Structure 1
Amino acid sequence: IRKICDGSTDPNLEPICGRPLGLKFHIETCHLYIADAYHGLLVVGPYGGVAEKLATSAEGVSFKFTNGLDIDTKTGMVYFTDSSTVIQRRNVDSLLRSLDQTGRLLKYNPYTKEVSVIYKGLVFPNGVALSKNNSFLLVAESTRMRILKFNLESGAKAKNMSKVFADPEVFAVLPRVPDNIKRNKDGDFWVALNTGRSESIQSDAPDPIGIKYNEEGTVLKRLDGHNGMIFNSISEVKEYNHRLYIGSVTKPYVGILNDY
């Protein structure tokens, strides 16, 4: 008898079988943390196996759309987003149109095994990335087509307090819907741009599918999708060893750029 969750791409099975979105290895422990859209925050040990469920709710409110994730390897804290407390990933188009403001930024403490809600009222929070020195956190607010910057309090204080952020500032305003944010070894950030070109952008203006920023928010590079001939919508840009590894929810492969 064929198992229901056999690795197929049937979207109707997502709520049962799960949909892993954010992924990050803890470089000290080799544990793989997973933000699964339907099953919450998960972890897999260094030798693989079945994922362990760490959290499915915060403050008594269940996760509906667990999404982006990053890890502070100094404190062990896991920062992640719940894109909505109302709308699931399978209804993502409805979420983009709804202006739903129930999205949350959360922190998982692996020592106490507790989840703290550290910011509420976000409009489709998506990708998450810590700065190189862990002093601030970037969050993609997809519906509003912008990146928010949360300044962190440092040291042991941040490890023990539930609220570690001041109100965010706008780090970047974007021409498309942002998805994941990935930091490179130099501390710069690649923001992947999904579909949905902003109506405020002139029709003859550049329409990149990825933008590289430094820590101050200055644009370092724009990634051209060549009018959709190569990529029209990407979910992630990972820079490693002078290459770009490009993910997409619309393509059945990972793209690799050697010269960019």
Structure 2
Amino acid sequence: LNRYWLKGDKAGTTDVFAITPGIPDNVRTNANGEFWVGLHCRVSLYAYVLGLHPQLRTFILRLPIPLKYHYMLYVGGRPHGIVAKYNANGEIMEVLEDKQGKVVKAVSEVEEKDGKLWMGSVLMPFIAVF
């Protein structure tokens, strides 16, 4: 996750706020100033290699392969759900993960409200409460 500074000596600059255990989709703050991040999936070897080699990525994505197969390779074979909580210094505090994808998959948003976590996805038809 990158941080963009709006005020102060660093205004207009960016820096690395946190390293995530997966591919982040959305960031929300809670009442304590902590950050919940919905992680679409863990970084698979396929995603890692394509990230390092843009020309290879362009070539592979132009092949006549259905997008759903690219997606399954990208998420490591099966979609699953991950949300992570960070403190104001970008240190990871908590990770919740459904490795089997039985309850949540491809989490794109997480919101903490009244002591509960509400999770949703732009890809999967669900709203989960934890």
- TM-score, L = length of structure 1: 0.34
Contact 2:2 2:18 in 1 (8 A): yes
* Structure 1 unaligned blocks of 5 or more: 1-146, 155-163
Give 5+ residue unaligned stretches, structure 2: 49-75
Structure 2 partner of 1:256: 129
Per the alignment, residue 37 of structure 2 pairs with: 191
Identity %: 32
Q: Distance in 1 between matches of 2:128 and 2:37?
A: 16
Quote how far apart the aligned CAs of 1:196 are: 5.5
Partner of 1:149: 3
Listed one character per residue, the Cα deviations across residues 48-99 of structure 1 (whole Å, up to 9, x for unaligned) are xxxxxxxxxxxxxxxxxxxxxxxxxxxxxxxxxxxxxxxxxxxxxxxxxxxx
Aligned residue pairs, count: 97
The answer to whether the 8 A contact 1:171-1:217 is kept is yes
Q: CA deviation at 1:230?
A: 1.2
Q: Distance in 2 between matches of 1:235 and 1:179?
A: 5
Residue of 220, 223, 248 corresponding to 2:93: 220
SS at match of 2:95: strand
Report the counterpart of residue 20 of structure 2 in structure 1: 174
Instruction: Give a deviation string over 1:3-33, Cα, whole Å, max 9, x none.
Output: xxxxxxxxxxxxxxxxxxxxxxxxxxxxxxx
Q: Could you list the runs of 4 or more consecutive aligned residues of structure 1 that deviate by over 6 angstroms after TM superposition? A: none
Identify the structure with the greater helix proportion: 2
Partners of 1:215 and 1:175 lie apart in 2 by 17
- Deviation, 1:166, is 3.1
Q: CA deviation at 1:152?
A: 2.1
Partner of 1:246: 119
The structure carrying a bigger strand percent of its residues is 1
Relative to the length of structure 2, the TM-score reads: 0.65
Using the TM superposition, give the Cα deviation of residue 153 of structure 1 relative to its aligned residue in structure 2, in angstroms: 1.4
Query: Structure 2 matches for 1:25-40, cutoff 5 A?
Result: none
1:15-94 mapped onto 2 (5 Å cutoff): none
Deviations 1:29-56 (A, max 9, x none): xxxxxxxxxxxxxxxxxxxxxxxxxxxx
Report the aligned-residue RMSD: 2.3
- Which residue of the partner structure matches residue 71 of structure 1? none
Cα gap change, 1:171/1:188 in structure 2, threshold over 3 Å: closer, same or farther? same
The answer as to whether partners of 2:23 and 2:43 remain within 8 angstroms in 1 is yes
Greater RCO, 1 or 2 (C-alpha within 8 Å, sep 6+): 2
**Greater gyration radius:** 1
